[in-house]
Amino acid sequence: MPESSAGTLTAPEKPAKQKPGGTLYRGREGMWSWVLHRITGVAIFFFLLVHILDTALVRVSPEAYNAVIGTYQTPIMGLGEVALVGAIVFHALNGLRIILVDFWTWATRHQKVLFWIVIALWVVTMLAFTPRHLINVFSH
């Protein structure tokens, strides 16, 4: 890794055409893990807002709750739940990666490998989850 000792960087007024990936960060594992972490975090947040409201319907009446939770059991929502679980599993695994990178110098140096480990674990988890969930949604 090139050590830059310069205290400040100077950018030209008109930046020259840059190759994506011309830096250590842009277009690489570090950037994509950040982008995905941010997008999944926002998505889960908005889901949670709605989810607390739908759960609150148990205080209205059994009929009201069942009507809304019934929509969770339709094929389209079933696919949406695969996306939601996919988002959570990525955010959780990559969250652990962030924590390791923050506290452990080995992980800081190997953050790229760790990104691919996150992806691998994500694939394994989703392979275990998706078929069973879709069978539940599309049968009975």
Partner 1 sequence: MTTIEAPRTPVRPAPKRGVNLEKWGWIYMRVSGVVLIVLIFTHLFVNLMLGDGVKAIDFGFVGGKWADPFWQWWDVAMLWLALIHGANGMRTIVNDYTKPGTAQKLLKLALFLAAAVLIVLGTLVVFTFDPCPAGAPADLLPSFCAA
Report CA 104 to chain centroid distance, whole Å. 22
**Nearest-approach distance from CB 15 to ligand HEM, in angstroms:** 25
Choose between 46 and 106: whose C-beta lies nearer to partner 1. 46
Q: Is 41 in the site for ligand HEM (CB under 6 A)?
A: yes
| Amino acid found at 32 | W
18 interface partner picked from ligand HEM, partner 1, none, CB below 5 to 8 A per type: none
The residues that touch partner 1, with contacts defined as CB under 8 A, are 6-13, 38, 41-42, 44-45, 48-49, 52-53, 55-56, 58-59, 61-63, 65-66, 69, 72-73, 78, 81, 85, 88, 92, 95-96, 98-99, 102, 129, 132-133, 136-137, 140
CB burial string 86-117: b at 16+ within 10 A, e below? bbbbbbbbbeebbeebeeeeebeeebeebbee
Site mask for ligand HEM (CB under 6 A), range 63-102, x = bound: ---------x--------x--x---x--xx--xx-xx---
* Helix 29-56 and helix 62-71, axial crossing angle in degrees, nearest 10: 150
Phi, psi (degrees; rounded to nearest 5) at 17 = -55, 125
Site mask for ligand HEM (CB under 6 A), range 11-30, x = bound: --------------------
CB contact at 8 A, 69 and 113:
no
Q: What is the DSSP letter of 5?
A: -
